[in-house]
Amino acid sequence: MALTDGDKAAVVNLWSKISGQTEAIGNEALQRLFTGFPQTKTYFKHYDLSPNSAQVRAHGARVLGAVGEATKYLDNLSEGLSKLSDLHAYNLRVDPENFKLLSHCFLVVLAVHFPAEFTPQVQAAWDKYLVAISTVLTSKYR
Ligand code: HEM
């Protein structure tokens, strides 16, 4: 479902609060992913996956960095995320189902960290945004 102008404003607005803490938020989303859905750990066999792993923290910051960068391309996500789409489809071959799991964890983290801002409308906007990102990152599988 396409993002409305209101959705886009909600995404950009909450991102301005997330952007100061990308490592903490990204790390928590990944920790919840690995704990709640342990099958996702298979993609990270080369990582130290202990609870305070510096590798996971750094990866959380990278993933969140990409989510933030994409807010600049809300009208053209496939162009903005093209390189990342190549990586996930051609190199990593992450099962698309996992994007739903990560998005779910990410929404939970936003709800926990930004309870006042996370209204039903903001949740719906971020849900659509994460679906849109996931759609692009899983669009090149063959
Ligand atoms: C790598 C973003 C979903 C597995 C990356 C990188 C970014 C990224 C920015 C680093 C790229 C680089 O180093 O050039 C995202 C975003 C996602 C997403 C924005 C969805 C919102 C997933 C999912 C999985 C996954 C669902 C699997 C459960 C990986 C793996 C790497 C990677 C295994 C390589 C890590 C490494 O070797 O250090 N992703 N990703 N990604 N991603 Fe994703």
The residue nearest atom 24 of ligand 1, judged by CA position, is 94
* Residue 2 CA to its chain's centroid (Å): 18
pTM of the model: 0.97
Q: Are 15 and 68 in contact (CB under 8 A)?
A: yes
Q: Are 33 and 129 in contact (CB under 8 A)?
A: no
The residue nearest atom 17 of ligand 1, judged by CA position, is 63
Tell me the per-residue pLDDT of 35-72, one tens digit each, with 9 for 90 and over. 999 999 999 999 999 988 999 999 999 999 999 999 99
Tell me the per-residue pLDDT of 31-43, one tens digit each, with 9 for 90 and over. 999 999 999 999 9
Pocket test for ligand 1, best of 22, 43, 85 (most atoms within 8 A of CB): 43
> Domains of the chain: which residue ranges?
5-138
Q: Are 30 and 60 in contact (CB under 8 A)?
A: yes
What pLDDT, on the 0 to 100 scale, is given for residue 142?
Answer: 73
DSSP 87: I
The residue nearest atom 33 of ligand 1, judged by CA position, is 43
The CATH architecture to which 5-138 belongs is: Orthogonal Bundle (1.10)
